[in-house]
Structure 1
């Protein structure tokens, strides 16, 4: 007789682990099947440079969307750390190197930086008002993320009831680019605002895809604050894994699901083309495209990934031409050539099949906030990490020569970065025993190969607004995780509200199953 479980979860990413914990808390016999040899998916920490004891968050790297409620519900002690600096954007004015420094809590230092850039405090005041409106919207929307889906009408009414009719119109109905151009005059300021709409999303500013991505980046936990995970992203996976095992979840790695079938009222899951397991429900933490392949169904339409991830280990932080303290400049998000005009031009060039002449990118230093990912020896020697994320670099650009295009883009991005530095970044990088610099580059193709993200899309499929577009919400789409099969649910980033390191897809799939 086949083994039988209440729930089989396909994939051991953070969402699969979250779902498993909730199900086990409700006494469901749960099995996680992970095709790779390690759990975590894109939420892992690795020793990227073997000669150095430094555990880098290779793919996912910051946390905002993970609700505190999930950590409380599951008794997970996972710490995320606030950063004093929100962002720093180097630029030149009248042949002078300056930069826009914005602290997380707006203060006189931030105000003075806006004045130095623009000549007045007008953009500062507009910035304050703009993000205050977004904070109010986040306070309304965030609490709904772990509840059954609201319809668009219901969510809009919730916003209106909280006095946010204009805010709803600006961020849900109108193209984001239009709103940014209306609210801000300075091209650099406009660009810094727009960047949150383009992470992993290949779109121009006036497409509503930008609005959707922007919204997810600004509503996490009702604040939109992006925090540094203590111990790196792998710390979350370790703690979720330990909790799942403590609750009795069975976890099997190197277990690829190759087929799903039916046996009476049960579903059958074929593993590695030989073993058969029976289960009442299936939760798919894999991408919907992979689930469709297993089922022999038509995969959903989606846009391929559009980002380049660069991880670096440094002997020291470089000094800046602006004179800004590197510990301030690199602690928050360091924007490289991300003015509004540069972002739009880069999109147009990439859409036409060319590598952008100027590749927009942003980075931050994890170790300025949390140095626990480095050994004591590296900390004493002053080593630091840098994580860089380039945008408007769609997968299509890498199709014919992945390694060659990666090398070309890396050279170009480092050249762009160096124009703002006194110390060339290459001179600051750690050097491995074989003489190679401690820097690695990951394209969308690498993400597909390494962590099974189709097309390298970090959200699995295109993001959707965190509400239902249906006239009324039915049981068939109550949680945003349902499929055409009443026994199969999406419990990953491909669920509505599922993108990013959030656990929301896992929570909502578990709730849908427990409600059956």
Structure 2
């Protein structure tokens, strides 16, 4: 690898996460010379799989875990060998001794669950209307994400539904949910999609929660969140393979130190200082990180707001609700203390500088949909995985003493989970080779240290609206040869590959995607 520093490339990509790999794949397939520089010892960024526990053959999607926003166009264009598995169960929310189950394959069962929890089917009927309207917004919006940015007026005309525009783009989500639904639990289930990785109240006038909700509802025109078969590492593995086949060079253990506006990249590799010149530099890092690399003022830091917990279980825990099997309850998103009022209370406590007394969180079980991440012995033993995402736990709560606050937040979060189960989760945890329970927690500050996410913000900064200056791709910076290609670009966030695609299109001068040149 010693020759890398002496070579020039058409594009140098800073960061080997999934967006950087998408950009590399497109550019290399177009005949451009491409070098990807990844700081970590493996490619993939936040979209990787790990065996996190000693002696336990389970490949966890350690950071990011579900896929909704990855366009089928990108999968086809790059010839990716990946499979995404649809989940039948959308969600289950424990409520006292019963629970709200949303079964996408059984409307009557779902309606009866709404009646059991809310006392009528009124909110179920509202639920159907709400998501039908969201579906129309999704169908009108999603394909625009891989085209040059529409203006605000153009996107509104494309959607063609003034009431839907008001709901999702103009009116705070909390106001909309209070109007549409009567039940506190039902309102909360919808609101959670507005808060993943976003620290905001339901009525936030900046509408950060609305932007988060929008991106959670529009994936591939349906809003379905699918399981990557083989784990998230299988997705980035396929992207890396595609980039290499096309001729891109991928270098790991290569830490970029600085970037100049004219495309010069200084980095360290194999213990040596190196310099490479690129026709373009594509930054698959947070905008704040790019500013630092350019020697510019980074501005105010964003703030991540989540606790990520990975667990491996001997078996799924028992439920208080005897009418629902745990495999159904954990087969979709399992909501824990996420009613509308509980979410608002937790936000107020965290905003006041306290770890919420009852942290709201949600859980997903990868292994129920895709057992391929389990080793043979673990599969035979009935082992299951749980990924927990805790809301309203912002970076500020961990800054004084991250280790102490992590332990406190984990205790409170597991206690919150226990409060809705028929038995403590601790008794269901598998033990590793050293006898320790298979549970790990990542705070926003842990994500910053491990992945370079500013204060643990999983979207690199607050999500943007999917519109902007006409004729741009949403990846441009103040420097013509330097582009963003990560989650902090306009229309970034999530495992989507969209910023990577759009940065590649900007370099190639394409106007309407991979097949049609300007």
TM bucket, shorter chain:
over 0.9
For the residues of structure 2 that align with 1:462 and 1:301, how far apart are their CA atoms? 12
**Structure 1 match to 2:267:** 271
Secondary structure class of the residue paired with 1:61: coil
**Structure 1 match to 2:51:** 47
For the residues of structure 2 that align with 1:105 and 1:206, how far apart are their CA atoms? 33
Q: Deviations over 1:308-360 (max 9, x none)?
A: 00000001111101112000000100000000001011111100101111110
TM-score by length of structure 2 reads 0.95
Asked if the contact 2:136/2:159 (under 8 Å) is kept, the reply is no
Shift of 1:109: 0.6
Secondary structure class of the residue paired with 2:127: helix
For the residues of structure 1 that align with 2:103 and 2:8, how far apart are their CA atoms? 53
**Structure 1 match to 2:377:** 377
User: How do 1:488-499 and structure 2 match up within 5 A?
Assistant: 488-499=482-493
Question: Is 1:90 paired with 2:94?
Answer: yes
User: How do 1:366-405 and structure 2 match up within 5 A?
Assistant: 366-405=366-405
Shift of 1:144: 0.3
For the residues of structure 1 that align with 2:105 and 2:176, how far apart are their CA atoms? 23
TM-score by length of structure 1 reads 0.95
Asked if the contact 2:11/2:282 (under 8 Å) is kept, the reply is yes
Question: Is 1:515 paired with 2:512?
Answer: no
Secondary structure class of the residue paired with 2:348: helix
For the residues of structure 2 that align with 1:370 and 1:338, how far apart are their CA atoms? 26
Asked if the contact 1:20/1:249 (under 8 Å) is kept, the reply is yes
Asked if the contact 1:197/1:214 (under 8 Å) is kept, the reply is yes
User: Aligned pair in 2 of structure 1 residues 165, 274: CA closer, same or farther (>3 Å)?
Assistant: same
Q: What CA RMSD, in Å, does the superposition of the two structures yield over aligned residues?
A: 1.2
Deviates more, 1:392-401 or 1:426-435: 426-435
User: How do 1:183-202 and structure 2 match up within 5 A?
Assistant: 183-202=180-199
Shift of 1:300: 4.2
Secondary structure class of the residue paired with 1:225: coil
User: How do 1:339-358 and structure 2 match up within 5 A?
Assistant: 339-358=339-358
For the residues of structure 1 that align with 2:66 and 2:31, how far apart are their CA atoms? 32
Asked if the contact 2:54/2:434 (under 8 Å) is kept, the reply is no
**Structure 2 match to 1:430:** 430
Number of residue pairs aligned between Structure 1 and Structure 2:
500
Question: Is 1:177 paired with 2:174?
Answer: yes
Secondary structure class of the residue paired with 1:109: helix
**Structure 1 match to 2:290:** 291
Secondary structure class of the residue paired with 2:136: helix
Secondary structure class of the residue paired with 1:327: helix
Shift of 1:105: 4.2
**Structure 2 match to 1:26:** 30
**Structure 2 match to 1:75:** 79
Asked if the contact 1:25/1:247 (under 8 Å) is kept, the reply is yes
Question: Is 1:38 paired with 2:70?
Answer: no
Asked if the contact 1:80/1:230 (under 8 Å) is kept, the reply is yes
Asked if the contact 1:495/1:505 (under 8 Å) is kept, the reply is yes
Asked if the contact 1:322/1:420 (under 8 Å) is kept, the reply is no
For the residues of structure 2 that align with 1:302 and 1:136, how far apart are their CA atoms? 35
For the residues of structure 2 that align with 1:381 and 1:157, how far apart are their CA atoms? 55
Secondary structure class of the residue paired with 2:445: helix
Asked if the contact 1:314/1:386 (under 8 Å) is kept, the reply is yes
**Structure 2 match to 1:504:** 498
**Structure 2 match to 1:301:** 300
**Structure 1 match to 2:513:** none
User: How do 1:121-200 and structure 2 match up within 5 A?
Assistant: 121-160=121-160, 164-200=161-197
For the residues of structure 1 that align with 2:260 and 2:435, how far apart are their CA atoms? 52
Shift of 1:433: 2.5
Asked if the contact 1:302/1:462 (under 8 Å) is kept, the reply is no
Shift of 1:302: 4.4
For the residues of structure 1 that align with 2:229 and 2:40, how far apart are their CA atoms? 25
Asked if the contact 1:288/1:300 (under 8 Å) is kept, the reply is no
For the residues of structure 1 that align with 2:302 and 2:448, how far apart are their CA atoms? 13
For the residues of structure 1 that align with 2:255 and 2:414, how far apart are their CA atoms? 39
Asked if the contact 1:199/1:213 (under 8 Å) is kept, the reply is yes
For the residues of structure 1 that align with 2:106 and 2:464, how far apart are their CA atoms? 31
Question: Is 1:211 paired with 2:206?
Answer: no
For the residues of structure 2 that align with 1:204 and 1:278, how far apart are their CA atoms? 45
Asked if the contact 1:53/1:375 (under 8 Å) is kept, the reply is yes
For the residues of structure 1 that align with 2:296 and 2:106, how far apart are their CA atoms? 50
**Structure 1 match to 2:515:** none
Asked if the contact 1:284/1:490 (under 8 Å) is kept, the reply is yes
Q: Deviations over 1:154-188 (max 9, x none)?
A: 1011112xxx1111111101111100000000001
User: How do 1:411-430 and structure 2 match up within 5 A?
Assistant: 411-430=411-430
**Structure 2 match to 1:281:** 280
**Structure 2 match to 1:249:** 248
Which segments of 5 or more consecutive residues in structure 1 lack a partner in the other structure? none
For the residues of structure 2 that align with 1:165 and 1:464, how far apart are their CA atoms? 20
Asked if the contact 1:151/1:467 (under 8 Å) is kept, the reply is yes
For the residues of structure 2 that align with 1:186 and 1:225, how far apart are their CA atoms? 24
Question: Is 1:58 paired with 2:57?
Answer: no
User: Aligned pair in 2 of structure 1 residues 106, 158: CA closer, same or farther (>3 Å)?
Assistant: farther
Asked if the contact 1:335/1:361 (under 8 Å) is kept, the reply is yes
Asked if the contact 1:195/1:338 (under 8 Å) is kept, the reply is yes
For the residues of structure 1 that align with 2:108 and 2:260, how far apart are their CA atoms? 63
For the residues of structure 2 that align with 1:381 and 1:306, how far apart are their CA atoms? 35
Which segments of 5 or more consecutive residues in structure 2 lack a partner in the other structure? 511-518
